[in-house]
Chains A and B, each alone.
Chain A
Amino acid sequence: MCLAIPGKIVELVAGNPDLAVVDVSGVRRTIDTGLLADEPAVPGDWVLIHVGFAMSKISERDALDQMQTLADLGEHEAALEEVQGYGVLEENKGGP
Chain B
Amino acid sequence: MRFVDEFRQPELITKAAEEIRRLADPNRHYRLMEVCGGHTHAIYRFGIKDLLPSNIELIHGPGCPVCVLPMGRIDDGLSMTEKPGVIFTAFGDMMRVPGTHGSPLEYKARGRDVRIVYSPMDALKLAQANPERHVAFFAIGFETTAPSTARTLMRARVLGIRNFSVFCNHVTIIPAIRAILDSPDMRLDAFIGPGHVSTVIGCRPYEWIAANEHKPIVVSGFEPVDILQSVVMILRQLREGRAEVENQYKRVVPWEGNGAALRAMAEVFQLRPYFEWRGLGFISQSALRIRDEYADWDAEQVFSVPGLRVTDPKAAQCGEVLKGVLKPAQCKLFGKECTPDYPIGALMVSSEGSCAAFYNYEHRKAVVAAAAE
Q: List 27 A-B contacts (CB under 8 A).
A: A1-B65, A1-B66, A1-B91, A2-B141, A2-B352, A35-B147, A35-B261, A35-B264, A36-B258, A36-B260, A38-B260, A48-B196, A48-B199, A50-B145, A52-B121, A55-B200, A55-B258, A58-B252, A59-B251, A72-B46, A73-B42, A73-B222, A74-B45, A82-B92, A85-B119, A86-B122, A87-B125
Q: What's the minimum C-beta distance from A15 to chain B, rounded to whole angstroms? A: 14
List 7 other contacts, CB 8 Å, given A35-B148, A52-B120. Answer: A1-B145, A32-B151, A50-B196, A51-B148, A53-B119, A69-B222, A90-B125
B 243-262 to A, binary, CB cutoff 8 A, 1 in contact else 0:
00000000110100011110
A 41-62 to B, binary, CB cutoff 8 A, 1 in contact else 0:
0000000101111011011001
Q: Are B140 and A35 in contact (CB under 8 A)?
A: no
B 49-80 to A, binary, CB cutoff 8 A, 1 in contact else 0:
00000000000000001100000000000000
Q: Which residue of B lies closest to A53 (CB)?
A: B148
Residues from chain B with a CB closer than 8 A to the CB of A35 are 147-148, 151, 258, 260-261, 264
Q: What's the minimum C-beta distance from B157 to chain A, rounded to whole angstroms? A: 14
Residues from chain B with a CB closer than 8 A to the CB of A14 are none
Q: How many residues belonging to A are interface residues under a CB distance threshold of 8 Å?
A: 35
Q: Which residue of A lies closest to B251 (CB)?
A: A62
A90–B258 Cα gap in the complex (Å)?
A: 29
B 183-227 to A, binary, CB cutoff 8 A, 1 in contact else 0:
000000000000110011000000000000000000000110000
A 76-89 to B, binary, CB cutoff 8 A, 1 in contact else 0:
00000011011111
The verdict on A51 contacting B91 (CB below 8 Å), with A32-B148, A58-B251 known, is yes
Is B274 interfacial (CB 8 A cutoff)? no
Q: Are A37 and B260 in contact (CB under 8 A)?
A: yes
Which of A's residues lie within 8 Å of B, judged by CB? 1-2, 4, 31-32, 34-38, 48, 50-53, 55-56, 58-59, 62, 65, 68-69, 72-75, 82-83, 85-90
Is B117 interfacial (CB 8 A cutoff)? yes
Q: What's the minimum C-beta distance from A54 to chain B, rounded to whole angstroms? A: 10
Q: Are B148 and A56 in contact (CB under 8 A)?
A: no
Q: Taking chain A's interface residues, is the majority helix, strand, or loop, or is none over half, making it mixed?
A: mixed
Residues from chain A with a CB closer than 8 A to the CB of B261 are 35, 55
Q: Which residue of B lies closest to A87 (CB)?
A: B122
Question: What total count of A-B pairs have CB within 8 Å?
Answer: 118
Is B286 interfacial (CB 8 A cutoff)? no
Residues from chain B with a CB closer than 8 A to the CB of A90 are 125
B 121-165 to A, binary, CB cutoff 8 A, 1 in contact else 0:
110011001000000000011001101100100000000000000
Most buried by A among B41, B148, B196, B223: B148
A11–B92 Cα gap in the complex (Å)?
A: 28
The verdict on A65 contacting B223 (CB below 8 Å), with A34-B151, A35-B264, A48-B252 known, is yes
The verdict on A85 contacting B116 (CB below 8 Å), with A1-B93, A53-B151, A55-B196 known, is yes
Contact of A38 among B121, B251, B258 (CB under 8 A): B258
A70–B196 Cα gap in the complex (Å)?
A: 14
Q: Are B199 and A56 in contact (CB under 8 A)?
A: yes
Is B118 interfacial (CB 8 A cutoff)? yes
The verdict on A2 contacting B121 (CB below 8 Å), with A53-B151, A58-B252 known, is no
A90–B125 Cα gap in the complex (Å)?
A: 9
When A and B form their complex, which 4 residue pairs have the shortest distance between CB atoms, in order from nearest?
Answer: A52-B119, A85-B118, A37-B260, A53-B148
A52–B137 Cα gap in the complex (Å)?
A: 15
Residues from chain A with a CB closer than 8 A to the CB of B41 are 73
Is B37 interfacial (CB 8 A cutoff)? yes
A68–B224 Cα gap in the complex (Å)?
A: 12
A33–B307 Cα gap in the complex (Å)?
A: 35
The verdict on A50 contacting B144 (CB below 8 Å), with A2-B37, A75-B351 known, is yes
Q: Are A89 and B126 in contact (CB under 8 A)?
A: yes
Most buried by B among A50, A62, A86, A89: A50
Q: What's the minimum C-beta distance from B56 to chain A, rounded to whole angstroms? A: 22
